Amino acid sequence: MSSASTYLDHNATTPVAPEVAEAMWPYLVDHFGNPSSTTPLGARARAAVDHAREQVAGLVGAHPDEIVFTSGGTESNNLAIRGTAAVASTYDVLTSAIEHPATVAPLAHLRGLGWRVHELPVDDGSRVRLTEVPTAPVGLGSLILAHNETGAVQPVAEFAERVHAAGGVVHADAAQAVGKIAVSVEDLGVDLMSIAGHKLYAPKGVGALVVRRGTTLVPLLRGAGQEGGLRPGTENVPGIVALGAAAELAGSHLEAEGARQAGLRDLLWEELARVAPDLVRVSPTDGCLPNTLMVAAPGRIGAEVLARVEDVAASTGSACHAGEHTPSAALLAMGLDHETALGAVRLSLGRSTTRAQIQHAAEVLGHALTGGPPPSPTVRGGPARDATAR
């Protein structure tokens, strides 16, 4: 991506915010102590980890001692799902048909161990249909909080009530939601919740699992007693400091930035729909992440559409294997036909996104979607600077 590019792939990853980079830097070069050490450097590192634990807890309404630092969302999901399964007495798990692979894969592992995995269907807005929750006992329920492709926010609180009523432990994959919308573990009623740092302007390779008090887990790794014995190994102090700083930064402007991005997202949809009237809006108009817009062009291939656009970065709703395009399983579960699902494109905004970039993206994507010639390139500014930086 050049400085003239428009980055609309924030659901894939975000840039590290300047304030976050500034906060973590001293722990890369000066304050390099091992937080388990009793030296002054170790004590400084321990204090930094403890402060970050408070910052992350503050963003999601948890207690600091409920925050377990991990390497990211995938590890958090695995620890939650497999760690719960190790102590469960009922081998039934309830989930949805639109989960992220970081949930699908550990659930498949449980299936191989004899667990029965029940997938709830979704409606045409990619929301789980809770009317089909079984009443039989379950050991675990796992549901994504905000869908990574469509942005649809799921009814996790009601899901948690029903799973608890069936005797199960509840896990929410909140990797795509935390930092974009207000998230409270208390309001959701979940026992476990996954967070990924690189989705909220922290570096890749750091995340957290919220483990509510009284929830029993078995660690996946064996070693020393770090992170309450749930995640042994010397802590990634710079990454943890960065995650804490990113959490505090997100909380400081969550409402205002969400409203700004929602306005730009709606403008993008209006402009795209004007240029390409047959375009399908896949993301719901209500109950959606404020930064996410997934659209689909029937009869087109999303990857081919994006290939015609050199200076707009976005993602598709399909995968390509050996030259064959496969639509997203989540989109098919929503009821989209195969042809429409192949034409899906996900556009996800961020703090650096400007109105000029949205207008430019709408113009060039509109031409690509309709098969017209691309417009002349125009410098629009890029994603390098965080618009919220002071």
Question: Which positions are catalytic?
Answer: 320
313 contacts: CB under 8 Å, gap ≥ 6: 1, 5, 6, 7, 8, 9
Nearest by Cα to 242 from 213, 219, 267, 208: 208
Q: How far apart are CA 19 and CA 242, in angstroms?
A: 9
d(CA 77, CA 250): 22
Distance CA(291)–CA(13), nearest Å, equals: 13
DSSP secondary structure code for residue 227 in this structure: G
Label residues 275-290 b or e (16+ Cβ within 10 Å = b).
bbeebbebbbeeebbb
d(CA 65, CA 44): 19
Alpha-carbon distance values, 231 to 61, 131, 198 (Å) = 22, 37, 19
- Give alpha helix (H) positions in the chain: 18-24, 26-29, 40-60, 73-85, 101-112, 156-165, 185-188, 237-252, 254-275, 302-307, 329-333, 338-342, 355-370
Can you list the positions of beta strands (E) in 109-215? 116-120, 140-144, 169-173, 192-196, 207-211
Report the candidate in 362, 171, 352 with the shortest Cα–Cα distance to residue 272.
Answer: 362
Is-contact 306 369, C-beta < 8 A? Answer: no
Contact between 172 and 96 under an 8 Å Cβ cutoff? The reply is no
